[in-house]
Structure 1
Amino acid sequence: MDVRRAAERYPGGEAAAGISSRHAFSFGPHYDPDNLRFGAMIACNEERLAPGAGFDEHPHSHTEIVTWVVEGELTHRDSTGHETRVRAGDVQRLSSAAGVRHVERNDAATPLTFVQTWLAPLSPGGEPAYEIVPGIADSTPYAVPEAGTLLHVRRLGAGERTAVPDAEWVYVHVVRGEVRLGEETLGAGDAARISAAKDIEAVGITAVELLMWEMSG
């Protein structure tokens, strides 16, 4: 188990434009050849957008992009014609495939926080695809078969416990709260990269929300 603390994330964004980013993996000017990916995961970014702030139209390709809104409302527009509002508890996935362009903005009057994960597909190319699962239920896995992954969202009360998936790679991100993971204690923004996970439990120290990525070989 490799624990990475919130304070260790690479800073990014543009404060003057109301954008604050924290990157878990090598990103942009923060190049680290020893931190390029874990399993299928190539990015896990915490993004904070002030009201009216956002990312102008930009391209993606050969990446599965999964977004979890923590608070606020995300406006998404892409070059395939989708225009949606993504709210807290919704899962959004953009399969960029051979190429797509999109815009991400906070058009609401309140701050927006979201966690965005980029996954490498098993096979490159194909046609772009998009979907939203509104209000995903606790412990209901969300499959991204294009990347051979499953997302498990878990919300635990203090003292409640859940099994960490047994898998070749598991990435656990703490959205909010505090949790004991094996022998480690993690807080909001912390993450654990677990190789060959087996018989590990997560126990809520406080009320906690977890994103657990199960990745096969």
Structure 2
Amino acid sequence: MSTFTVIRSADRDHWRDSAILSRQSFPATGNFDLEANAFGLLMMHNDDIVSPGEGFDMHFHKDVEILSWIVDGAVHHRDSGSDEITEVRAGMAQHISAGSGVRHSEVNAGGYTSGRTVRVVQSWLPADEKGTPPSHKSHDFAADLAAGGVFQVAGPGSPLPLGTTGAALYIARVDAAPVTLPGSAYVHLYVIDGEVEVAGETLREGDVLRGRDVEKLEVTGQGQVLHWVMDRAITPA
């Protein structure tokens, strides 16, 4: 039988400094045991709003799969494997496989005087294999988002394969017609904007629905949702 837990936006962890507001499904800032707080294979899920010209300077990752969905604005990404700056815009996703180790920076592409913030939803999953060569790839889903309905962003058969088997990410733009999202042993649905009805719950921006042993989810209302499906947990319950 399916079971569900709702985490309201106000109850999620919030971390703020002068440049960044981070709204976290799991306590991530200063937490060095992310796997202990994971749900399914998802061990970090942050919704970050970054001030103009600000961001995350060069920092290190290893043996983690990182998926970023750009909601508003644009990010300039640079990593230790290249001097090239990649711009990832709203409606795009970027996958980083940190592998044996990568240093990278993520900065709001809008300059200090632009007045433009950037909003990014970023997820982390553990890599199946350790020490693989680092890589990153971006893909533009703006046309899929504009068309509405549901589309797959990452995982098997998608434009952004993951180094974590059994996990897949979907985005849905819910409008006049109901949307059906796939289920799995673990599902994590996040409302990016709007108001939707799912599993008998009314969810608004920033709310999370976590489900266990879910066959599928019918979503109605209006809004954009980000939906992870995972076939197992990092540490089996």
TM-score (norm 1): 0.91
Taking structure 1 as reference, are residues 50 and 33 closer, same or farther at Cα in structure 2, changes over 3 Å only? closer
Would you say 1:129 and 2:140 are equivalent positions? no
Q: Where do 1:107-118 residues align within 5 Å?
A: 107-108=109-110, 109=114, 110-118=116-124
Would you say 1:215 and 2:230 are equivalent positions? yes
Q: Where do 1:41-56 residues align within 5 Å?
A: 41-56=42-57
Q: Where do 1:103-182 residues align within 5 Å?
A: 103-108=105-110, 109=114, 110-135=116-141, 137-138=144-145, 139-141=150-152, 142-143=154-155, 144-148=161-165, 149-157=167-175, 159-182=176-199
Taking structure 1 as reference, are residues 161 and 95 closer, same or farther at Cα in structure 2, changes over 3 Å only? same
Equivalent position SS for 2:10:
helix
Taking structure 1 as reference, are residues 145 and 27 closer, same or farther at Cα in structure 2, changes over 3 Å only? closer
Equivalent residue, structure 1, for 2:207: 190
Taking structure 1 as reference, are residues 76 and 2 closer, same or farther at Cα in structure 2, changes over 3 Å only? same
Give the deviation of 1:152 after TM superposition.
0.9
State the AA in 1 paired with 2:28. F
State the AA in 2 paired with 1:200. L
Taking structure 1 as reference, are residues 35 and 194 closer, same or farther at Cα in structure 2, changes over 3 Å only? farther
State the AA in 2 paired with 1:6. S
Give the deviation of 1:33 after TM superposition.
8.7
- Residue segments in structure 1 that go unaligned for 5+ positions in a row: none
Is the 2:174–2:219 Cα contact (8 Å) retained in structure 1? Answer: no
Kindly, what percent of the aligned residue pairs are identical? 31
Number of paired residues? 212
Equivalent residue, structure 1, for 2:235: none
State the AA in 1 paired with 2:10. A
State the AA in 2 paired with 1:67. S
Q: For 2:35 and 2:11, how far apart are their aligned partners in 1?
A: 14
Give the deviation of 1:30 after TM superposition.
6.1
Is the 1:40–1:121 Cα contact (8 Å) retained in structure 2? Answer: no
Equivalent position SS for 1:51:
coil
Larger displacement relative to structure 2 (130-139 or 47-56): 130-139
Equivalent residue, structure 2, for 1:11: 14
Q: For 1:32 and 1:160, how far apart are their aligned partners in 2?
A: 41
Equivalent position SS for 1:155:
strand
State the AA in 2 paired with 1:140. F
Is the 2:28–2:34 Cα contact (8 Å) retained in structure 1? Answer: no
Give the deviation of 1:200 after TM superposition.
2.7
Q: For 2:49 and 2:201, how far apart are their aligned partners in 1?
A: 27
- Residue segments in structure 2 that go unaligned for 5+ positions in a row: 156-160, 233-237
Q: What is the Cα-based RMSD across aligned positions, in Å?
A: 1.9
Equivalent position SS for 2:229:
strand
State the AA in 1 paired with 2:20. I
Q: For 1:39 and 1:125, how far apart are their aligned partners in 2?
A: 22
TM-score (norm 2): 0.83
Is the 1:167–1:214 Cα contact (8 Å) retained in structure 2? Answer: yes
